[in-house]
Amino acid sequence: MLCPFCAEEIKEQAVVCRHCHRDLAVQKPLLDENQALRKEIEDLRRQFNSLQRTAILHRGSPRPTAQDKSAFAFSPRYVAVYLLLPILLLLAAHYLIVIRFDLREIVLRLVSIALSLPFGFALFWRHRSGPILLIVTATIVSIAAVGGMLAVVSLIDVNVPIVPRDRREWQEAVEQALSIGLAMGAGYMFARVAENLLFGTEGSPGPLNALARSIISLVAPSNNERDLKARIESFQQVLAMLVVTVTTLGSIYAGVKSVLN
């Protein structure tokens, strides 16, 4: 810190300035209090800026309430946008890539991942849907899309049955469905990370928050609640980014594994 008399750099524990030799015993408590107040003001300023950004970005689009979420689940809008639309897009991609233009299977797998990601992202970003609705959506879309692809191939080539014939075909179908589901999960988690980075983690408890709090409390405990909260939020963001990375890589791996082999 700086000496209040000569403005020279001194240690925070000093009671006498080594430059001007003035007594700091009286001023030190005031300096400490002043420093604490400045830090608190800076924290309040950051919180205000975060709330201001939230208000600007979400103006005209208020955060959905629990009642809104329950009304949205399996509503006509949900069925049309998050079930029928991705299934139709995936089937269209399959027809164009595999049947119309006869491109490599890996192209279809990568395009399927790219098509699925935005729907998982929108489920959280637009509607704040919970993990259960994400799992249900990803399961329905992936199974219906892969089943539809198999049905289309069977209709075009009568010698190919709809149901996979052997272990390898079953494995390819399951891996493709898993890839689509994981891609939606990666989009969902990316939306959560983006919200935390933009608006902070305040008011967004969940499994990652509880896990981060448990780990930080054991590994890096702190008596200062503000410091503990900052550590938990930082570690929670790291965990969320890790989940996004693992989910995305898992989706890509499941999609291209059988094709590359």
Render each residue's pLDDT in the chain as its tens digit; 261 residues.
677 778 788 777 777 788 887 776 666 677 777 778 888 888 888 777 767 666 655 554 556 766 777 788 889 999 999 999 999 999 999 999 999 999 988 999 999 999 999 999 999 988 888 899 999 999 999 999 999 999 999 999 888 888 998 998 999 999 999 999 999 999 998 988 887 766 654 444 455 566 666 776 677 676 666 776 777 777 777 777 888 888 888 888 887 876 666
pLDDT of residue 163: 92
* pTM to 2 decimal places: 0.68
pLDDT of residue 204: 47
What is d(CA 200, CA 202) in angstroms, rounded to the nearest whole number? Answer: 6
What is d(CA 196, CA 171) in angstroms, rounded to the nearest whole number? Answer: 37
What is d(CA 117, CA 137) in angstroms, rounded to the nearest whole number? Answer: 12
What is d(CA 181, CA 202) in angstroms, rounded to the nearest whole number? Answer: 29
Which single residue is written with the structure tokens 């902070």? 200
pLDDT of residue 140: 97
Helices (H), 65-223: 66-72, 76-78, 85-94, 105-125, 131-156, 167-199, 207-219
Nearest alpha carbon to residue 255 among 181, 179, 186:
179
Token pair, residue 60, equals: 């005209």
pLDDT of residue 203: 42
* DSSP 3-state of 242: helix
Which single residue is written with the structure tokens 């200062």? 224
What is d(CA 253, CA 260) in angstroms, rounded to the nearest whole number? Answer: 10
